[in-house]
């Protein structure tokens, strides 16, 4: 498949399952009826994923619906109740369907999508991202602000493949401010931050929404019920920020 950086075009064809004789009523969504959404990611783009959010949802959180990966011709289909949505196409180099979109990944803009009876065509581009640090910690060797530590399991063994997520509110319910790369076999990490401050830390192996059954999850605390605050001064690396993760059951 040819590599490209100018973007891809997504063609959404919304095919109605039935015609409506009342033209004015077609403007009002019938949420009891499923409408088939068919389209193609060209030129073509295989294994891209169309994600659907309801209006007002967190566009970086759990999705309302997700189509199967596009086939070799870039084609997809999904059935949705009539309504108003936001659509986005993502293709991550790491093959995952969750997590931040980083340099080298494809992502379209967030496009309003009205699903109604009838047929609608929607074109958008999904350029390859270059140097996007909005949600990843800036791993700049010159930075002297941050923290380091190790992720272990209940038996004290290093845990590989877990990411550190950094929040600035104790509730830790909003999107993380910063996300690290995955830990290696030794479970060790270094998290570099653009500024000092008071942060709340967790470690998990998945992104998006609250931890689910089977996920690895752990918070930085010092024997307290609530997450412990980690105060980091500018130009200072805090060491020994160790977190134990457990599987959610």
Of the residues 125, 160, 182, the one at which a domain ends: 125
**CB distance 151 to 159 below 8 Å:** yes
**Is 111 inside any structural domain?**
yes
What CATH number corresponds to the domain at position 169? 2.60.40.1120
Q: What is the pLDDT of residue 175?
A: 77
Q: What confidence score (pLDDT) does residue 137 get? A: 42
| pLDDT tens across the length of the chain (249 residues) | 444 444 444 444 443 333 333 444 445 556 667 888 877 776 677 888 999 999 888 887 788 999 898 888 878 888 889 889 998 889 888 777 777 777 788 887 788 888 887 655 565 566 677 544 444 444 444 458 899 999 999 999 999 989 899 988 888 877 788 888 888 899 999 888 888 999 999 999 887 677 888 899 999 987 777 788 999 999 899 999 999 999 988
Q: What is the pLDDT of residue 2?
A: 42
- Do 171 and 114 lie in one domain? The reply is no
Q: How many CB atoms lie within 10 A of CB 220?
A: 21
Give the total number of structural domains in the chain: 2
The per-residue pLDDT for 176 is 83
Q: Is residue 135 part of a domain?
A: no
In the prediction, which pLDDT does 10 show? 45
- Looking at residue 218, its pLDDT comes to 93
Residue 133 lies in a domain: no
Dihedral angle computed from the Cα positions of residues 106, 108, 114 and 119, in that order, rounded to the nearest 10 degrees? -70
Residue ranges making up the domain that contains 98: 9-125
Residue of 166, 167, 151 lying closest to 218 (CA atoms)? 151
Q: What is the CATH number of the domain that holds 78?
A: 2.60.40
Residue 4 lies in a domain: no
107 and 21 assigned to the same domain: yes
Show which of 94, 125, 156 is a domain's final residue.
125
* 54 located within any domain: yes
Domain-located, residue 41: yes
Q: Are residues 89 and 187 in the same domain?
A: no
Report the candidate in 70, 126, 118, 65 with the shortest Cα–Cα distance to residue 101: 126
Is the peptide bond preceding residue 106 cis, with omega within 30 degrees of 0? no
The DSSP secondary structure of 124-146, one letter per residue, reads EE-PBP-S--SSB----TT---E
**How many CB atoms are located within 10 Å of the residue 241 CB?**
23
Rounded to whole angstroms, the Cα distance separating 193 from 206 reads 21
């Amino acid at each position: 498949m040819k590599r490209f950086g100018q973007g891809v075009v997504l063609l959404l064809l919304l095919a109605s399952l039935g015609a409506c004789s009342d033209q004015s009523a077609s403007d009002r969504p019938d949420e009891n009826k499923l409408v088939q959404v068919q389209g193609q990611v060209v030129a073509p783009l295989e294994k891209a994923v169309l994600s659907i959010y309801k209006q007002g949802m967190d566009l970086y959180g759990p999705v309302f619906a997700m189509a199967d990966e596009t086939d070799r011709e870039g084609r997809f289909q999904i059935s949705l109740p009539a309504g108003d949505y936001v659509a986005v196409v993502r293709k991550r180099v790491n093959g995952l369907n969750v997590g931040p979109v980083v340099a080298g990944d494809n992502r379209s803009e967030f496009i309003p999508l009205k699903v109604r009876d009838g047929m609608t065509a929607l074109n958008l581009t999904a350029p390859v991202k270059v140097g996007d640090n909005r949600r990843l910690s800036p791993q700049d060797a010159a930075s002297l602000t941050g923290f380091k530590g190790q992720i272990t399991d209940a038996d004290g063994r290093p845990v590989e493949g877990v990411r550190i997520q950094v929040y600035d509110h104790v509730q830790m319910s909003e999107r993380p401010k910063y996300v690290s790369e995955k830990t290696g076999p030794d479970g060790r990490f270094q998290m570099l931050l653009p500024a000092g401050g008071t942060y709340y830390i967790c470690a998990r192996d998945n992104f998006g929404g609250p931890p689910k059954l089977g996920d690895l999850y752990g918070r930085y605390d010092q024997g307290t019920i609530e997450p412990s605050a980690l105060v980091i001064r500018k130009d200072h690396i805090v060491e020994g920020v160790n977190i134990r993760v457990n599987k959610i059951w």
